[in-house]
Structure 1
Amino acid sequence: MIDRPRVAIVLRGWLEENLNLLHSLAKFKRFNANWHVFVDDLARGAEDPDWLLDQGWDGIICKENSDELFRKARERGIACVDLSDSGVLRADCPKFRPNNVAAGHLGAEHFVEKGFRHFAFCGFKGDLWSEERRDGFVEGLALAGKKCTTFETVYPGVSQPAWEFAEEDEMARWLKTLPKPVAVFACNDLRAVHVVNACQQADFRVPEEVAILGVNNDSARCELSAPSVSSIPVDVSEYARAAGATLEALMKGAEPKDFKELTLIDPLEVVTRRSTSIMAVEDQAVAQALNLIRERACKGITVEEVAKAVHISRSLLEKRFRQYVGRSPQVEIRQAQVIQIKQMLVETEYSLAHIAEMAGFEHPEYMSVVFKRLTHTTPSAYRRKSKELASVGL
């Protein structure tokens, strides 16, 4: 019988980011390792290390900040990889963390490119990862000659309804003091949803008056929000590859000193949803037109109908769009349709004929022509490529 290393993975399995990490580790293992794996998806081993360690392991990957588990594991000669997002560095335990400063920079770039002049950060006071994302956002804005205001309170460790409602009440009062339109960067998706709810309470339109961007891309939380929340994903595929390769090498006899004490994993590009799907423009007619196009592009709205709805002539609408947006209303309509087509190609198994109908095209052939003109690939090729990338964890 082949001797397989015994590996324990300790994390809170109900978090989407951690589930994605498990999927990516499974893909790494399938092609690169022959482990016998136990998943402690309640993270019990972080609270009670002896319960876990008494079973005997060759390696541990832990996403919890448990000094005792790492210490006792190393005392027993178990190879360890630390994925907890804390600032603690542990002897003989190579550590991987998100590059939170880079996430902040990415948030700043996203909003600056959209033309915003006013910026704010909403986070958790005293949490290193939140403060790093804040500092990256502030630094990124400073490089563009911009400043921002902040709203930070202490996270109690567990989200409870009474606490969330009280936070949203306080945020609503804070939002009323900010100039509009304003771009708000939240430390994570939970905080971004708080801001969305606070906007609804204060009667501010999202994203027209308050655009909101989160971090982690917890897709279920982001999509449950109304409007849906844009977010910066953590690169869980790179986490899994780096952590898996490091643990495999350690279990084969490599020394911890052969690896960097800390490796920062850069974030992926922004996943744009409704909460930031806007250009910050001061022309009210153009702003209203953009909002109308986003809402009705896939329902067959025409440029003439948009102009009529915002009470200006088509020629004036065309002129103002080119001035403030840099493209025509017709191209904006097509861009909005293509965004929806991409989402349906990736997230559903709908036929091209059904997707064309849902995107506002009478004929799937014409949809394919428009899609290829704007993306330089066909819908079928785009779907196939997306599935190939997903199959290898990208």
Structure 2
Amino acid sequence: MARRRHVALMVETSLVYGRQLLHGIIRYLHSHQPWSVFFELRELGAAPPAWLKDWRGDGIICRPTNPGLADLFRKKRIPVVNLNDVYDGLGLPAIESDHVAIGKLAADHLLERGFRHFGFCGFSGHAWSAKRCEGFQAALGAAGCSGQLYESPWGGPSAHPWEKEQGQIGAWLQGLPRPLGILACNDMRGQHVLDACQRMNLSVPEEVAVIGVDDDVLLCELCDPPLSSVVPNADRVGFEAALLLDRLMAGEKPTRLTTLVPPLGVTVRQSTDVLAIDDAQVAAAVRFIREHACAGINVDQVLSQVPLSRTILERRFRKYLGRSPQAEIREVQLKRVKQLLAHTDLRLERIAELAGYEHPEYMSVVFKRETGLTPGQYRRASAGRE
């Protein structure tokens, strides 16, 4: 019988992202040769354990990797998969959430709601925050918009007193045009922005809409109002990290230094549940589409809800949303299909029914045309099997 490999897991359990990474690792181990795992509960940012310097195991999955640890790992010549997203250029095989894609997804979410003024609230000195800002600004630029930036250090009240921080965020928000869409670099930052809005008597989401990242359900629901959030695929990051480590321990060379895992989507809560469209009739039409697209509606049914001709409705949709009413219906349906493919095992016939398609074959044709993937390919990719 082959000896079980000894693997150390250095992943924080204090935040939902770390716990989901561990779920992905567990999911991999349940379907592959198990490891003998050394693991201890950790806080985010905790110092490396004292035992690491003399540890003689077979491999490590490490989230708090920094330049010093990267040098230690190279000296020890032990296979390591790096899950750090604070530092770039450490020279170790890494699996990361695609932070640029996360920023783009948040921008698309706010743009779809009609916002044309934006801001990004981040943490300085963290690569993941900077990349989310980069993706956010790139998507805004493609839409002919731009966003204002606010950053401060991550370090808690001792590094940056909260009363001062709250006042600075509030002053920043007050100086921006409204209605305003804000991407907070994570859910914790989103809570900071919402608290500052309360302090400055800014209405959320009517004046300021806020979206975070990580979809930490407890934190998002504790916010007032509940915080919308981009959902990274941390489970798949963990799964891919375990798969890569197994290959490294078997003597394989990584095919690429860094593998990026795209986000799953957006969980919409009250903090962005608004349409920032200065046209009551278009807003009513968009709301009707988003509530009923998956019932299989058509443009004639949309026109029955607003006193506009088809030509005028088309013109106003293109002005505010950059697409036609029919394209908006298709966009809502495709988002529903993606959600069901990623999070359920439903058959395509049932998914087509729930997304408002009469025939699953037509749904598959539209899905491939719009995404470049078949429904099966998308489902496998979302589950980490491609």
Question: Is the contact made by 1:278 and 1:290 (CA closer than 8 Å) also made in structure 2?
Answer: no
- Output the amino acid matched with 1:94: P
Question: Is the contact made by 1:180 and 1:209 (CA closer than 8 Å) also made in structure 2?
Answer: yes
- Output the amino acid matched with 1:167: E
Map 1:239-318; keep pairs closer than 5 Å: 239-255=237-253, 258-283=254-279, 318=306
Q: Which residue of 1 aligns with 2:114?
A: 115
Q: Which residue of 1 aligns with 2:125?
A: 126
1:83 Cα deviation (Å)?
A: 0.6
SS of the residue aligned with 1:32?
Answer: coil
Q: Which residue of 1 aligns with 2:369?
A: none
- Output the amino acid matched with 1:61: I
Which deviates more, 214-223 or 4-13? 214-223
1:2–1:19 CA distance, 2 compared to 1 (3 A): same
Residue 19 (1) aligns with residue 19 (2): yes
1:66–1:150 CA distance, 2 compared to 1 (3 A): closer
Map 1:162-241; keep pairs closer than 5 Å: 163-241=161-239
Bigger Rg over Cα:
1
Q: Normalising by the residue count of structure 2, what TM-score does the alignment of the two structures yield?
A: 0.72
Q: Which residue of 1 aligns with 2:143?
A: 144
- Output the amino acid matched with 2:83: L
- Output the amino acid matched with 1:269: G
1:45 Cα deviation (Å)?
A: 11
SS of the residue aligned with 1:47?
Answer: coil
1:88 Cα deviation (Å)?
A: 3.4
1:26–1:281 CA distance, 2 compared to 1 (3 A): same
Question: Is the contact made by 1:107 and 1:137 (CA closer than 8 Å) also made in structure 2?
Answer: yes
Distance 1:160 1:317 in 2: 55
- Output the amino acid matched with 1:111: L
1:319 Cα deviation (Å)?
A: 3.5
1:46 Cα deviation (Å)?
A: 6.9
Distance 1:45 1:220 in 2: 21
Distance 2:196 2:48 in 1: 39
Q: Which residue of 2 aligns with 1:158?
A: 156
SS of the residue aligned with 1:97?
Answer: strand
SS of the residue aligned with 2:266?
Answer: coil
Question: Is the contact made by 2:229 and 2:268 (CA closer than 8 Å) also made in structure 1?
Answer: yes
Q: Which residue of 1 aligns with 2:47?
A: 47
Question: Is the contact made by 1:124 and 1:130 (CA closer than 8 Å) also made in structure 2?
Answer: yes
Q: Normalising by the residue count of structure 1, what TM-score does the alignment of the two structures yield?
A: 0.71
- Output the amino acid matched with 1:200: Q
1:45–1:154 CA distance, 2 compared to 1 (3 A): closer
Measured on the aligned residues, the alpha-carbon RMSD in Å equals 4.3
Distance 1:120 1:269 in 2: 20
Which digits, 9 at most, give the CA deviation of each residue in 1:26-59, with x for residues without a partner? 0011112321112233269973454135342101
SS of the residue aligned with 1:153?
Answer: strand
Q: Which residue of 2 aligns with 1:381?
A: none
1:48–1:130 CA distance, 2 compared to 1 (3 A): closer
Which deviates more, 17-26 or 115-124? 115-124
Q: Which residue of 2 aligns with 1:96?
A: 95
1:277 Cα deviation (Å)?
A: 1.3
Distance 2:46 2:54 in 1: 13
Which digits, 9 at most, give the CA deviation of each residue in 1:235-277, with x for residues without a partner? 113212221111001111223xx43122222222122111111
1:159–1:393 CA distance, 2 compared to 1 (3 A): farther
- Output the amino acid matched with 1:34: P
1:160–1:190 CA distance, 2 compared to 1 (3 A): farther
Distance 1:109 1:249 in 2: 37
Question: Is the contact made by 1:46 and 1:66 (CA closer than 8 Å) also made in structure 2?
Answer: no
Q: Which residue of 2 aligns with 1:34?
A: 34
Q: Which residue of 2 aligns with 1:319?
A: 307
1:372–1:254 CA distance, 2 compared to 1 (3 A): closer
- Output the amino acid matched with 2:12: R
1:85–1:120 CA distance, 2 compared to 1 (3 A): same
- Output the amino acid matched with 1:251: M
1:376–1:6 CA distance, 2 compared to 1 (3 A): farther
Question: Is the contact made by 2:22 and 2:235 (CA closer than 8 Å) also made in structure 1?
Answer: no
Which digits, 9 at most, give the CA deviation of each residue in 1:172-212, with x for residues without a partner? 22222222211111111111111111111111211111111
Distance 1:265 1:280 in 2: 31
Which deviates more, 136-145 or 67-76? 67-76
- Output the amino acid matched with 2:307: K
Question: Is the contact made by 2:63 and 2:83 (CA closer than 8 Å) also made in structure 1?
Answer: yes
Question: Is the contact made by 1:47 and 1:66 (CA closer than 8 Å) also made in structure 2?
Answer: no
